[in-house]
Amino acid sequence: MVAVTAQAPAKVNLLLQVGPVRPDGYHDLVTVFQAVSLHEEVTVTPAREWGVSVEPADGTDVSGVPLDSSNLALRAARLLAERAGVDEPVHVHVRKGVPVAGGMAGGSADAAAALVACDALWQLRSGLDGLAELGAELGSDVPFGLHGRTAVGTGRGEQLVPVLTTASFAWVFVLGSAGLSTPAVFAECDRLRALDGRADALGDGRLEAVELALRGGDPEELGAALSNDLAEAACSLAPELVATLAAGREAGALAGVVSGSGPTVALLAGSVPAARRLARELAPVVGAGRVRTATGPVPGARVLEPLV
């Protein structure tokens, strides 16, 4: 086989409850991930040496993506090779359709797609669970990039249970003008909580409300159940998010929420045509280049069959 291409989706957190910081520096989470139709495409090609390159898709700014051995897609390929005892370097090419450092797990999607592509190239048949175990070593969001659809995540976000959904939801994403660092947002959340002595609430009924809304398939009900414990910290580090959320509501979104650690804002619409209208309304307000429409749930990382 000459080259294999795989794709993996971005995610939005419908619920992100952040518990206390653990001895290993991570926070316990209760989250509901939904995979949405913005994708990364990763092509792996046998090469003399390990290497990586990046190309933008849909106008994505790729300037923040490392092109050295810290690149998550390259790390994923090398980790799988090491664990499987494969001595065949590949060149990893990433086509980025997910905003960088946007809270939508773009880097994690690259890692997920690279694992699936290399697994196929080297004919390893590791299985989803095997790849997800390796993925968790690369980042908390990588297992979800492999699984896709809609899932509850616990632990540091890597332990997944699928959630029943009966509908497809229509989203509009407003990209931030600059990225936010995930560790910095968690640290700001801790700082704000220490300031006012707030408890870290997991298990307060918000998960059940999201699950009920997903089962019912009503976007208004889901909109009312969206919440993100990192939103306040993200808004503290990137204050323009408050205005973006307000602009979304003004333009007719059912609800808006900061996506993961931000700074992308996720706006829920009642239907695909309503999402298109919302995107048209928002484009002149925030800049057309910062608006994307998508639907979810979508499947996780998978090999794209070559056209014959």
Ligand X SMILES: Nc1ncnc2c1ncn2[C@@H]1O[C@H](COP(=O)(O)OP(=O)(O)OP(=O)(O)O)[C@@H](O)[C@H]1O
The catalytic residue positions are: 11, 141
User: Considering only 70-78, 208-216, 230-238, 283-291, which stretch makes contact with ligand X by CB under 6 A?
Assistant: 70-78
Q: Rounded to 5 degrees, what are φ and ψ at 28?
A: -70, 135
182 binds ligand X (CB under 6 A): yes
Nearest-angstrom CA–CA distance, 250 and 248: 5
Distances (CA, A) of 166 to 32, 114, 148, 212, 274: 15, 30, 15, 11, 19
Q: Which does 25 bind (CB under 5 to 8 A by kind): ligand CDM, ligand X, none?
A: ligand CDM
Query: What are the tokens at 244?
Result: 């973006």
Q: Which does 186 bind (CB under 5 to 8 A by kind): ligand CDM, ligand X, none?
A: ligand CDM
What is the per-residue binding string for ligand CDM in 85-124, x denoting contact by CB under 6 A? --------------------x--x----------------
2, 24, 25, 197: residue in contact with ligand CDM (rule CB under 6 A) = 25
20, 59, 64, 273: residue in contact with ligand X (rule CB under 6 A) = 64
Cis preceding-peptide flag for 263 (omega within 30 of 0): yes
261, 263, 265, 282: residue in contact with ligand CDM (rule CB under 6 A) = 261
In the chain, count H helices and then E strands.
10, 12
- Nearest of 67, 74, 65, 8 to residue 35 by alpha carbon: 8
Rule CB under 6 A: which residues touch ligand X? 64-66, 70-73, 94, 100-108, 110, 141, 179, 182, 260-261
